Structure formats: C-alpha cells, structure tokens
Amino acid sequence: MPMLEDQLRQIMAEETARLHAAPDLVDRVVRSSRRKKTRGRIATVATSLAVAAAVPLYLTAAPGAVQTSVVTETPDPSASQTLGPPAIDDTPAPPSEPPSLGDLGDGKALKHVRVGYLPDGLRWSQWSYDFGDRYTTSWNYDGDKNGFYCVQIYVYEGQAVQEVDDRVQAHRDEGEGKEVTVGDRTGYAVVEGVGEDGMKGTPTLFLNMGEQRRAEIMFSPVYVKRFPDAKAVDRELIKIAEGLTADD
C-alpha cells in the first residue's frame, strides 16, 4: 500500500513539474500525448489503491469464516439518541514538494548537463525538479519562480529515454515536425499541443545527447511572440541545443 501511494505521489509530482513552468492557462496546455499517458498511469495506480483498500473488507466478510456464538441484547433507546457515528478524519495529507536540483546559481548547470547558450535577457527562474532519471528547470526575464517561463529544458536519462523516443516516433508517424542536425548530433523539431484550447502550440526540439540521454527544449507560446517568424524560433532552439553538453 505505501509503495502504491508513493508511486501516485511521484506521478502527480511529475505532472506538477510540467505545469509549474506555465501557471497561466495559455502555458498549461502543452504536450498532450504526455498528459494522456500520465492520466492513464494515474488511473492505473488509483485503481490499484482502491483494490488494495478493499482487500481487508473482503477477508473479514468472506463466507464460510469461523464464527463465535452471538448474544442478542435489547438496544438501549437512550444510547441510540446520544451516540453518533465515529468521527472520520478525511483531511488529505499536504502534498510533499518534489526534490529539486538545489541552488543552480545562474541556472546553466543542470546535474549532468551544462547549458552553454540562452537568448539574451533570460534569468534562471529559481526552481527545478529532480526525479532521478529526469530533471527540469526553466528561465524567464525576472527570475521569479512563480512567473511565466520563456525557455524550459527537460533532460531524460536511462530508462526515461524510451519515453522520449516513443513521443518522437509518434510525431514522425503523424507527419508532424522534422529531423534537424545539431552539430554532429541529431534532433527533431516539432510544435506540440497545436490546437489545444485554440493555442498555436509549444515549439520543441528533442536532442539526442547520446545513447542514454535526451534533452527536450521548449519555448512557451507567449515567448514565441517575441520572434518575427518560425524560422527565427528554430534558429534559437538549435543554438540552445548546440550549447548543451554533458559533464560525464
């Protein structure tokens, strides 16, 4: 039971990380395929929790159980008037804050990855999440962790790499996006979340940083408006990707 609850908290924390970078409605609507997958995982864990909770009730009420003699007593009318149902404390425990990467200083060193280039004027937004095989942070103009994000980077390592590869392949199968060359590395550029709530989507570049590492670079739909056209956005995404290096 504790393992299932911990898994549910982990999934919800990952979803919170994706929304943290975009507290407004415009920025919340991103990467629909991932959300659908996450909702499915949440539903699976929630169902498991419900089944686990029902097991003790089934065991105590199972037919054929050994029973002791029953003594019938006449209920006291006065007692039924004074006694009520037992109090139930159904107050949910406050959610725990996901682990972070700590103080990143200028925000250009994310665990195993270094950020060599960011567009002018951007500052680290003072927040990050570290889920072990994936971690993320963002940058904006005022350095406020509660402000709108401009650029966000998600790094996936180990087993988490397969999730990113599956998402990229889904875009290929749908004819969305395009292959890009980033120095001597490969990448895939696509606009995710197109059409959700009327939004134009989130320009995203997936970078292959090696067999066991992928990076996902995103521009918020609000930040994109500062660029003259899609080509200018692509150029900046590629420049950020070119500056990403691993220190291991």
With CA atoms as reference, report the closest residue to 152 among 243, 215, 197: 215
Neighbours of 182 (CB within 10 A): 21
Residue 209 has pLDDT above 70, yes or no: yes
Task: Determine contact, residues 233/119, Cβ cutoff 8 Å.
Answer: no
Position 242 scores a pLDDT of 98
Residue 4 has pLDDT above 80, yes or no: no
The distance of Cα 143 from the centroid of its chain, to the nearest Å, equals: 21
User: Which range among 1-10, 137-146, 185-194, 226-235 shows the weakest confidence by mean pLDDT?
Assistant: 1-10
Q: Mean pLDDT over residues 111-117, rounded?
A: 95
Burial status of residue 173 (CB atoms within 10 A of its CB: 0-12, 13-18, 19 or more):
exposed
Burial status of residue 223 (CB atoms within 10 A of its CB: 0-12, 13-18, 19 or more):
buried
Position 219 scores a pLDDT of 96
Classify 109-246 by CATH class: alpha beta
With CA atoms as reference, report the closest residue to 190 among 210, 164, 209: 164
Burial status of residue 215 (CB atoms within 10 A of its CB: 0-12, 13-18, 19 or more):
buried
Neighbours of 78 (CB within 10 A): 8
Position 221 scores a pLDDT of 92
Between 67 and 86, whose confidence is greater?
A: 86
Q: How far apart are CA 179 and CA 187, in angstroms?
A: 6
Between 78 and 87, whose confidence is greater?
A: 87
Task: Determine contact, residues 148/36, Cβ cutoff 8 Å.
Answer: no
Between 85 and 139, whose confidence is greater?
A: 139
With CA atoms as reference, report the closest residue to 134 among 248, 205, 35, 213: 213
Q: Mean pLDDT over residues 78-83, rounded?
A: 55
Residue 47 has pLDDT above 70, yes or no: no
Residues of the chain with pLDDT > 70: what percent? 61
Burial status of residue 204 (CB atoms within 10 A of its CB: 0-12, 13-18, 19 or more):
buried
Position 32 scores a pLDDT of 42
Average model confidence (pLDDT) across the chain: 76
Coil/strand/helix, residue 48: helix
Position 191 scores a pLDDT of 95
Q: What φ, ψ does residue 213 adopt, rounded to 5°?
A: -155, 135
Residue 234 has pLDDT above 60, yes or no: yes
Position 45 scores a pLDDT of 44
- Residue 53 — very low, low, confident or very high, per pLDDT cuts 50/70/90? very low
